[in-house]
Amino acid sequence: MALPVLVADPDRKWLGDAKIHLKESGYEVDAVDNGRDAQLALFRKRYFAIILNFDLKNHTGMQVLKFIKFNHPGLKVVLVLNSEEYLQEYFDYEDLQKLGAQEVLVRPFENHKLVDSLEGQQNFSQLIKNLKKRTGQSEESEEDVDEDEFTKVRIKEFFSAKHVIFDVYIKLREGKYLKILHAGDSFSKERIDKYINEKSIEFLYFKEHDRKKYIRFCNHLARKILGNKKADTKMKVAMVKNVAEKFVEEVFVEGIKPSILDQGKEICETVFKLVEGEKDLFKLLKEFQEFDPSAYSHAFLVSLFSAMIIRQFEWQSKLTTETVSLACLFHDIGKMKLPQEINEKRPEDMNAAELEQYQMHPEFGIELLHANRSIPPSVKQIIYQHHECTDGTGFPKGVKDNKIFTLSKIVHVADEFSHIMVVNDCAPPAALKIMLENEANIARYNGVVLEHFMKVFVDPKILQEIEEKKKKIC
Ligand SMILES: [Fe+2]
Ligand SMILES: [Fe+2]
């Protein structure tokens, strides 16, 4: 069943094109060119979303937004601005979100952005419902595409529903890709296995603009699998890793937009569900072999270890774990402002000038998040202090332990630990050994956090027994 969408824009030519494009993408579309007709249409019919131009006449875009807020609060609003000036002079994303816009598109933009923005608002079942499904699969077709247009996932970590929700490619050679599945095709696990086993394919590719859809899908699937007691813990971690990595990639590429933040919060709930529900996670973490040095993978690892440390504290709560997870996903976002050559080096290989720039990344992170008031101050504080050390040798301020927020101390330990694992290509027990090798190093971490971190790798039942013995002695 097609989702009904209303498009309201004074430009009739554009309106006509948008209508055709959205219909081709499976939506049921009505179009109006003024605000009054938009309100009338909303009064008469129930829509899933409206694509609303702010510069409407005969009831302005602002009036229609107020009308929607009062009369149709559940309606998704994609607001179209005719120029960047609105964002520079009058509003920021946050103001527009308060007015009721879930997504903002600034002209000029390509038509596929319209579909992306609508899909960004849909939950998984709506995405599936709106998909034009086919039995079997379409013909494979070769395409010349620039590598920049793609994002990739390891073929072994690719998950799909009964029907794939976007086009899937394999890489033939530089600039040449083969579309092996079209959106709506029935997904065949056998076929994917054939690519792995017979053609030694390692990665599947899909278009960058489909990444949001993939994140939504993976998060949906991860939650389902987390609820299944019989499913394997390794598989559960792989699912959450997959979704967190793709989310961080989306943030680094697209920047922080309101809809991205909502997805981030959903993913953090999933991380919480994982650390809370998987009692055997400690076993897996002991043998965790994840040496992917990408920033996306790193953010997931830091998030997972931080959440696991928090779990060891008595004051732990769902809210605290989710707050810290969100901070971890964003903790290195300030690196977006650093030159590429600095991001490719480890701090120990940098010269003094490079190091100085690198050490600005917590502040840059705060600058990037500053305008976004829906990100809690505690998240910003964690990001700002994630490189501060207990002995005052950290940055950006070089403050000592009592001036460092406890949650920042936790992220600091998780962050350095995940770097040690990747740099030394070693599993957690060996990384822990390296971390604790010399006293000077230990002095950099908060003692209580370190103690709780070590418990991450111990069977919770044993810890409980020790606690009970302690209580008896006291
Ligand atoms: Fe960092
Ligand atoms: Fe980091």
Domain ranges of the chain: 4-121, 141-208, 227-465
CB 9 within 8 A of CB 30: no
Concatenating the DSSP letter of every residue in 199-216 gives T---EEEEEGGGHHHHHH
Mean pLDDT across the stretch 159-176? 84
At residue 306, the pLDDT reads 93
The whole-number pLDDT of residue 83 equals 87
12 or 148: which leads in pLDDT: 12
123-137, 148-162, 288-302, 312-326 — which one is most confidently predicted on average? 312-326
Residue 411 C-alpha to ligand 1 middle, in angstroms? Answer: 10
**How many angstroms separate the CA atoms of 224 and 236, rounded?**
10
What number of CA atoms fall less than 13 Å from residue 147's CA on the CB side? 5
Closest ligand relative to 359 C-alpha: 1
Structure tokens belonging to residue 160: 């799909």
56-78: average pLDDT: 92
Predicted pLDDT of residue 291: 62
Distance separating alpha carbons of residues 218 and 221, to the nearest angstrom: 5
Q: What is the mean pLDDT of residues 81-93?
A: 78
Give φ, ψ of 188 to 5 degrees.
-120, 115
pLDDT for the residue 117: 82
Q: 1-15, 321-335, 361-375: which has the minimum mean pLDDT? A: 361-375
Ligand nearest to the CA of 415: 2
Residues 6+ apart with CB under 8 A from 129: 1, 3
Q: In this predicted model, what pLDDT tens digit does every residue of 122-155 receive, in sequence order?
A: 777 777 777 777 776 778 888 888 888 888 888 8
At residue 99, does pLDDT exceed 90?
Answer: no
**From the CA of 408, how far away is ligand 2's center (Å)?**
12
- In this structure, which ligand is nearest to the CA of 383? 1
Distance 226 CA to ligand 2 centre (A): 27
If you measure from the C-alpha of residue 335 to the centroid of ligand 1, how many angstroms do you get, rounded to a whole number?
Answer: 8
CATH superfamily, domain at 4-121 = Response regulator (3.40.50.2300)
| Smallest-distance ligand from the CA of 361 | 1
* Residue position matching structure tokens 């529903």: 161
Whole-number Å distance, alpha carbon 276 to ligand 2 midpoint, is 24
- Cα distance between residue 431 and residue 417, in whole Å: 7
Query: What is the CA(295)–ligand 2 centre distance, in A?
Result: 8
Ligand whose nearest atom lies closest to the CA of 248: 2
State residue 474's pLDDT score.
Answer: 65
Lowest mean pLDDT among 12-16, 97-101, 301-305: 97-101
Ligand nearest the Cα atom of residue 305: 2
At residue 182, φ and ψ (nearest 5 deg) are -100, 150
Residue 60 confidence (pLDDT):
93
Strand partners, 76: 49
Is the pLDDT score of 1 beyond 70?
A: no
Please report which confidence band the pLDDT of residue 74 belongs to, taking 50, 70 and 90 as the band edges: confident
Among candidate residues 240, 153, 235, the one with its CA nearest the CA of residue 201: 153
Rounded to whole angstroms, the Cα distance separating 393 from 377 reads: 24
Question: Phi and psi for 204 in degrees, rounded to 5?
Answer: -110, 150
Q: Is there a common fold for 4-121 and 227-465?
A: no
Q: Provide, for the chain, the percentages of residues in helix, strand and coil under a 3-state DSSP scheme, each rounded to the nearest 5.
A: 55, 10, 30
Going from the Cα of 328 to the center of ligand 1, the distance in angstroms, rounded, reads 10
Give the ligand with the smallest distance to the CA of 299. 2
Q: How far is the CA of 302 from the centre of ligand 2 (A)?
A: 7
Q: How far is the centre of ligand 2, averaged over its atoms, from the C-alpha of 404 (Å)?
A: 17
H or E stretch covering 76: strand 76-81
Residue 4 vs residues 47, 79, 80, 127, 251: alpha-carbon distances, Å: 5, 17, 18, 13, 29
C-alpha span between 63 and 14 (Å, rounded): 22
Average pLDDT over all residues of the chain:
86
CA–centroid distance, 140 to ligand 2, in Å, is: 40
Of residues 199, 209, 196, 290, the one with CA closest to residue 246: 209
Q: What is the pLDDT of residues 233-286, one digit of tens each?
A: 888 888 888 889 888 888 888 777 766 777 888 888 889 888 888 877 777 777
Q: 227-465, which class in CATH? A: mainly alpha
Q: Count how many residues are written for the chain.
A: 474
Q: Residue 413 pLDDT > 70, yes or no?
A: yes
pLDDT in the model for residue 101: 87
Report whether 271 contacts 325 (CB < 8 A): yes
Residue from 78, 49, 52, 46 nearest 64 by CA: 52
Kindly tell me if the per-residue pLDDT of 29 is higher than 80: yes
pLDDT at 359 over 90: yes
| pLDDT confidence of residue 215 | 86
The pLDDT of residue 149 is 85
Q: How far is the CA of 245 from the centre of ligand 1 (A)?
A: 16
Res. 390: pLDDT tops 90? yes
> Which of the ligands is closest to the CA of residue 386?
1
How far, in Å, from the CA of 466 to the mean position of ligand 2? 33
Q: Which pLDDT does position 40 carry in this prediction? A: 96
Closest ligand to the CA of 300? 2
425 CA → ligand 2 middle, Å? 16
Determine the distance separating the centroid of ligand 2 and the alpha carbon of 308, expressed in angstroms.
17
Task: State residue 311's pLDDT score.
Answer: 87
Q: What is the pTM of this model?
A: 0.76
Distance 296 CA to ligand 2 centre (A): 10
What is the predicted pLDDT for the residue at 208? 85
CA distances from 171 to 41, 153, 187, 393 (A): 46, 12, 19, 46
**Ligand 2 geometric centre to CA of 303 (Å):** 10
